[in-house]
């Protein structure tokens, strides 16, 4: 017997039990519902609806490299010089 955990949006299932029914599991993921596959009790992979994944990637690309600040903090902000920004980027380079 294996542990199958279901919630409103996700199912958690060991990979060893998912192998034999991968096609059925792929049909189950719709919209924001997904299946977490575990190995040795730890999450290793997820089955997600491809349209949902594409939408997440598109939304994330819109947010990437944007900074959000509470409007109440705007009076305490200032424009940074190109030199300051270059220095920070050099510090962040790995």
The predicted-structure confidence for 4-26, as pLDDT tens digits, reads as follows 555 556 789 999 999 999 999 99
Taking the C-alpha atoms of residue 33 and residue 47, their distance in angstroms, rounded to an integer, is: 9
Which pLDDT value is given to residue 83?
A: 93
List, edge to edge, every strand of the sheet that includes 10-14. 5-6, 10-14, 34-39, 42-48
Arithmetic mean of pLDDT, 33-43:
92
Closest CA to 45 of 59, 57, 29: 29
Where along the chain do its domains lie? 5-92
pTM of the shown model: 0.58
What is the percent of the chain with per-residue pLDDT over 70, rounded to a whole number?
Answer: 88
The predicted-structure confidence for 49-67, as pLDDT tens digits, reads as follows 999 999 999 988 877 767 7
Which pLDDT value is given to residue 5?
A: 58
Superfamily designation of domain 5-92: YefM-like domain (3.40.1620.10)
Cα 7 to the chain's mean position, in Å? 18
CA dihedral 71, 76, 82, 85 (to 10 degrees): -80
Whether the Cβ atoms of residue 17 and residue 39 lie closer than 8 Å to each other: no
Which pLDDT value is given to residue 68?
A: 75
Pairing label, strands 42-48, 5-6: unpaired
Arithmetic mean of pLDDT, 24-32:
91
């Amino acid at each position: 017997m294996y542990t199958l955990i279901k919630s409103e949006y996700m199912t958690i299932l060991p990979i060893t039990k998912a192998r034999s029914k991968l096609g059925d599991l792929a049909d189950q993921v719709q919209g924001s519902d997904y299946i977490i596959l575990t190995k040795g009790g730890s999450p290793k992979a997820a089955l997600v609806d491809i349209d949902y994944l594409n939408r997440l990637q598109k939304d994330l690309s819109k947010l990437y490299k944007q900074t959000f600040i509470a409007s109440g903090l705007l009076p305490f902000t200032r424009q940074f010089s190109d030199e300051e920004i270059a220095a920070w980027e050099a510090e962040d380079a790995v």
